[in-house]
Amino acid sequence: MAFGFCNVLPFSSFLDENENGLRWSCMASHRVGPVGETGLSDSGPSNPHVPYSVFHGSNVPTSFINQEGSAFDFRELEEAIVLQGVKIRNDEAKAPLFTGRPAATLEMFPSWPMRFQTTPRVGSSKSGGESTDSGSAVNTFSSKAEVQLESESPISNKASSSDHQAFDHQKHLQLQQQQIQQEMANDRSRAGPSQNQSDVKAPQEKRKGSGGSSSTSEKQLDAKTLRRLAQNREAARKSRLRKKAYVQQLESSRMKLTHIEQDLQRARAQGLFLGGCGGAGGNLSSGAAIFDMEYARWLEDDHRLMAELRTGLHAHLSDGDLRLIVEGYISHYDEIFRLKGVAAKSDVFHVITGLWMTPAERCFLWIGGFRPSDLIKMLIGQLEPLTEQQLVGIYRLQQSTQQAEEALSQGQEQLQQSLIETIAAAGPVIDGMQQMVVALGKLSNLEGFVRQADNLRQQTLHQLRHVLTIRQAARCFLVIGEYYGRLRALSSLWASRPRESLMSEDHNSCQTTATDHLQIVHQSAHNHFSTF
């Protein structure tokens, strides 16, 4: 069974019982100053999560959790209790037995798993009126301890909650604490009747066996020395562990640093650092960051839906089935326009400057997205064969998108002109502020333009769906998806293309010719486009 203990047990003479006992006593000798002595400082290995309980003295709160360990030498506990009692009596003047360590428990008996880490406050609420048994004992020990103690004791007191032998042990502990209170010094009669942990074999046996220990002081001396030694060992062990953890942390940080430096180098080479432009420095607003994430997810969905389109076309699905897939793809685009609308409300600059796009796409940016007439231009050659009516429809669509684009562009130009006048006209301070306010008002119109541009894109896609047959529409959307996929791939290729500036200083290696460049690019392009 696992046992942990959170108390100072000045007994370390029983070290050699077993490994666990040894460990225990190591812990035991940890911090607790022996009764009546200043004892060891509690500078030993301090597991911050280990709750401490201070029963005596201000300087030696020690609680140690030994979560492993099975057998347990109860004699040591007994001695500890005794010494505790002695100490308490001696130090009655000292009220706070706590040194304020966290989650102090009155667990003097390290033979049961300590749950104080997880239940500290859980029990405290229940502990209010329940700690009848432990109440007195608890109160006696420490006013502060009470708070934490209650977390343990009431749990133990509640038979219902003792689904854990720890609780039983705790209960036993309580009673024993009581007895320390009542029978100080040499009272060896651990209250048998209160023991209800039938599952604690060793302690009981040991207890009975230890009933006759005599020279407490003798053991105390030995205990003290041994405890000190054990404490040192423990401290050394803990500090080794800490050092190891720290070194590991350093190593991982170093790796991370080199990665970041590489990314930085690559990004610089790509020329993204244009005078500290918005997104490059990672200074994304929350709305922008959220949109970027949503866009990344949208791109994944895009791949998936395109695969569906592709398989649907090749499988020669019925028109009805294909229609479902096509409608799904259109809804997919409706979704990104909706997301862009939301993002434009919170960060219009992020959307309208296309920071969420790849650089190659951004070349063709028009009010926060693709230009619908460009799309039609791209599609015209790829949609054949078209009926006469369909051709007319496509050309009409091309014309209307061009007209709408022209209108929006001119509206945006007027906005820009008006902004220039407003910002340039800033006069003396007061007027200047006013001008800024006016400028802010004008900037707010940008969101409307993004909204209308996206509306135009959406209507264009819907109209394509209406002009074409379902099969043609499926092919059309597949072409659109592939087109933008290639554009995105172009950005990656461009970024990773070999350039002389990135080559080593060695002149020999710089002798890559243009054809070499092309070959390298061609190869990677080949890899990229293998899916198309």
Partner 1 sequence: MHYQTESWGSYMPTRSANVGDPLERIERLASENAVVIFSMSTCCMCHAIKRLFCGMGVNPTVHELDEDPRGKDMERALMRLLGNSSAVPVVFIGGKLVGAMDRVMASHINGSLVPLLKEAGALWL
Tell me which residues touch partner 1 (CB under 8 A).
393, 396-397, 400-401, 403-404, 406-408, 410-412, 414-415, 418, 445, 448-449, 451-452, 455-456, 459-460, 462-463, 466
State how far Cα 54 lies from the chain centre.
35
CB of 465 to partner 1, least distance (A): 11
Q: Which one, 347 or 405, has the nearer CB to partner 1?
A: 405
Distance from chain centroid for Cα 186? 54
Q: Least distance to partner 1 from the beta carbon of 419, Å?
A: 10
> Which lies closer to partner 1 via its Cβ, residue 74 or residue 449?
449
Is 328 or 393 the residue whose CB approaches partner 1 more closely? 393
Tokens describing residue 331? 């809804």
Least distance between partner 1 and beta carbon 382 (Å):
20
Residue that the structure tokens 């109209």 belong to: 463
Q: Which of 447, 345, 456 is nearest to 407 (CA)?
A: 456
403 vs 519, which CB is nearer to partner 1?
403
Which amino acid is it at 476?
A: C
> In angstroms, what is the minimal distance from the CB of 446 to partner 1?
10
The DSSP secondary-structure symbol of 185 reads T
CB 507 within 8 Å of CB 402 = no
299, 325, 346, 365 from 290: Cα distances, Å: 14, 28, 10, 21
CB of 466 to partner 1, least distance (A): 7
Nearer to partner 1, 190 or 451 (CB): 451
The C-alpha torsion from 41 through 45 and 51 to 57, rounded to 10°, is -10
- List C-alpha distances in Å: 129 to 135, 148, 157, 445, 480: 9, 14, 11, 65, 72
Using the minimum distance from each CB to partner 1, give the nearer residue, 40 or 408.
408
My answer on whether omega of the bond before 385 falls inside 30° of 0, hence cis, is: yes
Closer to partner 1 by CB, 397 or 487: give it. 397
Residue 4, phi then psi, degrees to nearest 5: -135, 160
Rounded to a whole number of angstroms, the minimum distance from the CB of residue 332 to partner 1 is 19
Radius of gyration, alpha carbons of the chain:
38
* Distance of closest approach, residue 389 Cβ to partner 1, in angstroms: 12
